[in-house]
Structures are given as C-alpha cells and as structure tokens.
Amino acid sequence: MIHPVAVIGAGPFGLSTAAHLRARGIPVRVFGRPMVSWRDHMPEGMLLKSTPAASSIDAPRPGHTLRDYCDAAGTPRLVTDEDIIPVETFIAYGEWFQRQLVPELEQVRVVSVDRRGGEGFELKLDSGESFTARAVVVATGLDGLAHLPPELGEAAADGPAPAGPVSHSSQHHDLTRFSGKELIVVGAGQSALETAALAAEAGARVRVVSRGRGRVAFGAPPWGQPKFRPESPFGRAWSLWALSYYPHPYRYLPAETRHHLVRRVLGPLGAWWLRDRFEGKVEVSEVARIDRASVSGGRPVLSVRTLDGSAGELAADHVIAATGYRVDIAAMGFLGDALRTELAVSRGTPKLGAGYRSSVPGLYFTGLPAAASYGPVMRFVCGTEFASPRLAKHLAAAHG
C-alpha cells in the first residue's frame, strides 16, 4: 500500500505542517521526537528571544496559540512584548500542540529516503519497518546541522564534545558542569551571549570571543522601538516587516543576496533583557579573527589576531563554539545518494519553488532548509504561519 504523505520532524515546523495536512483530510505519517531540539540542544533555563506574538505554532483552526496553551495549562498568559517565554514553557506548549493536533506521531527515526521508481519514495525507519509514500516533507530543523568553523577543528579532532576541549553550543543542556571553570564562548549571537550569561550564573568564569569591533550588542527594549516604522514579529523596521509578511518574492532575489540576508538579518544581536545579566559578568575579547585552536596541557588555546593586528593567545578549560547552524544537503544522511544527486541545490541548500516543493516531485522542505528560498523568517517559529498552509495546499493539489 502506498501511503500519501510522510512528514519527517516533530519540531514546530513538522507539527504545524502535519496539522495542516490532517485538516485537509490527507492521511499523514509523522516521525520524530516532539520538541527535541528545544529539550536536548538548548540550555536549561534559556529564555526565548522571540516575543509571544512571534512564538505560536501555526494551526489550521483557532485554539492552539501559545496564549491558548497558557489558558489550558492554567498558567499566566504570555502576550505582551515584555512577557519573556521560558524554554520549558515553550516545550510544554509544543507537546500540548502535538497531543491536540498530531496525536498519531511516531517517535522513531527515518533512516533513509529513496526514490521508488516513478511511484513516490521508499522510507526505512529505525524500527525496521519500510513503507512507500507518495510525498515526503522534510522538517528536520537543526538536526545534524551544527556548524563548527574549520579554525576550531584541530582542537576537536574527534569531533566537538562537551567532555573534550571544544564543543558546540547545541551539545549543552546543563551548563552547571562549568561551575568553577574557565570557559570561552565563541560567537556574538543570542545563543553565544545567553550561553555565556547562563554559564556565568552557574559559577563559571566566562569570556566571549567575538570577531570584529562592537559585535556584542543588544536589541532595544519594546518601549525603545522606533515609533514610525511598521510592526513585525521581530521589532519595528521596514525590512523586518517585508521579510516577515512577504516572503513570496524572496526566492527571485539573486542567490548572493538571499544567502547573505539569511545569515545577517535577525542575526547576531542579544535580546534586550539579556544586557543586565551579561554586562559586568562576562568578559568580552574582540578579535580580528581566530587563526586556530590547539590543545596545550589538556587545555584549549585559541591563537588570535587582535584588532590592532598583533598575534595573541586565549586559553581556558573549555571552548564552546556558539557558531550556529549551516544547511547542507550532504549532512542530511537519511536522504539517499541518488536523491541528493538529483536535488537542485544552491550552496548546499535545496532550491525550492512554489509551495515549498523541491526539484524532485513530491519532496518538500520546510523550516531552516527553506530559509535560502523563503527568507530568514523560516529560521523562526513564526515562519510556520506562512509556510505550513502554503505547503499543505500545494501538496494537497499535487499529491493528495
């Protein structure tokens, strides 16, 4: 029997897409661990940078926003821009959304996806089962895409690891392990700055190493936002408004511009509420670049070029690379070789057309892998509002 649709992923994008497909009456099998990126790959005690208005998972019918969850759970509503969302609340919201709208979720991994002649796709699960689906939606989010810059690679010869000299920020949930230790955090984005603040609060001596002058910066609080610019889920600015509400034409921009905007827009800037927890508690070293990371006496050492051009060294007990995620089809090991070869890509990311379809008929991508085609909003939960109804509509028309 051929199953109509398989959705791979049970984070915000996978759950939202599956809910929209179900609402259209399309039988769908959904795979993945609900909200696992948030539970296992972000630090305990983290607060969301996105505001409540930008943190609902899009559903096909009313009653499933973050505010609805707060009401159902009997907790105070998180609604204004000054309400900050604890990650634990957001995880509970996602799990509630899943129980309500995607109750048939199968918590297994998809091991491989291959083309099956002219008839859809063959999927293998780690339960040992194989089955065929007419269409596949890839919503695997951050999984496997953590990026370690090559200059840090020498000190992480066996791969980044919390117990080794260098790790990636996605490998940490409990930062209390650094209590009493010297820690370097590389990066200047929200993840770097919040990881540094949380580790300092847990008793570590923390230094953030950022490339360039003045890169460690914090956004304006809600009451300090410019008044005469349109509102968007990310603050008041024309550019943010256009990218949030009109991602349609994004994929027609030149490739260079698209890839640049995905990296830079809504990029390295700490949340307004983090400033007081960071300044005076975390050291900052601004460098022109990091040349290499080595290990001396069991401790990682960063060889850096300072802003005035001289050479310097920074050492600690451990280095966390809060250096983000890079989409690369080659890292999505579950996609079969033939499928990956057939996919049209631009710098490792799938080229998507209308309705989030890839160049392989029946294969769709949403969330982070769709950002190079539909813009930076796809990196955030609020991107589900644009993506999920459109993907479901296209898929229903083409394969439903």
Ligand X SMILES: Cc1cc2nc3c(=O)[nH]c(=O)nc-3n(C[C@H](O)[C@H](O)[C@H](O)COP(=O)(O)OP(=O)(O)OC[C@H]3O[C@@H](n4cnc5c(N)ncnc54)[C@H](O)[C@@H]3O)c2cc1C
Residues that bind ligand X (CB under 6 A): 8-14, 31-33, 36-37, 42, 48-50, 109-110, 139-143, 191, 334, 367-368, 379-381
Give the pairing type, strands 318-321 and 182-186: parallel
Nearest distance from C-beta of residue 173 to ligand X, angstroms: 11
Nearest distance from C-beta of residue 123 to ligand X, angstroms: 9
Nearest distance from C-beta of residue 303 to ligand X, angstroms: 27
With helix as H, strand as E and coil as C, how does the chain read?
CEEEEEEECCCHHHHHHHHHHHHCCCCEEEECCCCHHHHHCCCCCCECCCCHHHCCCCCCCCCCCHHHHHHHHCCCCCCCCCCCCEHHHHHHHHHHHHHHHCCCCECCCEEEEEECCCCCEEEEECCCCEEEEEEEEECCCCCCCECCCHHHHHHHCCCCCCCCCEEEHHHCCCHHHHCCCEEEEECCCHHHHHHHHHHHHCCCEEEEEEECCCCCCECCCHHHCCCCCCEECCEECHHHHHHHHCCHHHHHCCHHHHHHHHHHCCCCCECHHHHHHHCCCCEEEEEEEEEEEEEECCEEEEEEEECCCCEEEEECCEEEECCCECCCHHHCCCECHHHHHHCCEECCEECCCHHHECCCCCEEECCHHHHHHHCHHHHCHHHHHHHHHHHHHHHHHHHC
Q: Are 316 and 182 in contact (CB under 8 A)?
A: yes
Nearest distance from C-beta of residue 295 to ligand X, angstroms: 26
d(CA 144, CA 341): 19
Q: Are 268 and 188 in contact (CB under 8 A)?
A: yes
Nearest distance from C-beta of residue 106 to ligand X, angstroms: 9
Nearest distance from C-beta of residue 278 to ligand X, angstroms: 15
Q: Which is nearer to ligand X, 120 or 244 (CB)?
A: 244
d(CA 322, CA 46): 14
Nearest distance from C-beta of residue 214 to ligand X, angstroms: 22
Q: Which is nearer to ligand X, 70 or 301 (CB)?
A: 70
Q: Which is nearer to ligand X, 54 or 314 (CB)?
A: 54
Q: Which is nearer to ligand X, 46 or 316 (CB)?
A: 46
Residue number with the smallest Cβ distance to ligand X: 141
Q: Which is nearer to ligand X, 301 or 367 (CB)?
A: 367
Nearest distance from C-beta of residue 379 to ligand X, angstroms: 6
What is the phi/psi pair of residue 260, to 5°?
A: -65, -45
Q: Which is nearer to ligand X, 17 or 290 (CB)?
A: 17
Nearest distance from C-beta of residue 117 to ligand X, angstroms: 23
Nearest distance from C-beta of residue 33 to ligand X, angstroms: 4
By CB neighbour count within 10 A (0-12 exposed, 13-18 middle, 19+ buried), where does 152 fall?
Answer: buried
Q: Which is nearer to ligand X, 175 or 368 (CB)?
A: 368
Q: Which is nearer to ligand X, 48 or 301 (CB)?
A: 48
Q: Which is nearer to ligand X, 187 or 301 (CB)?
A: 187
Q: Which is nearer to ligand X, 26 or 137 (CB)?
A: 137
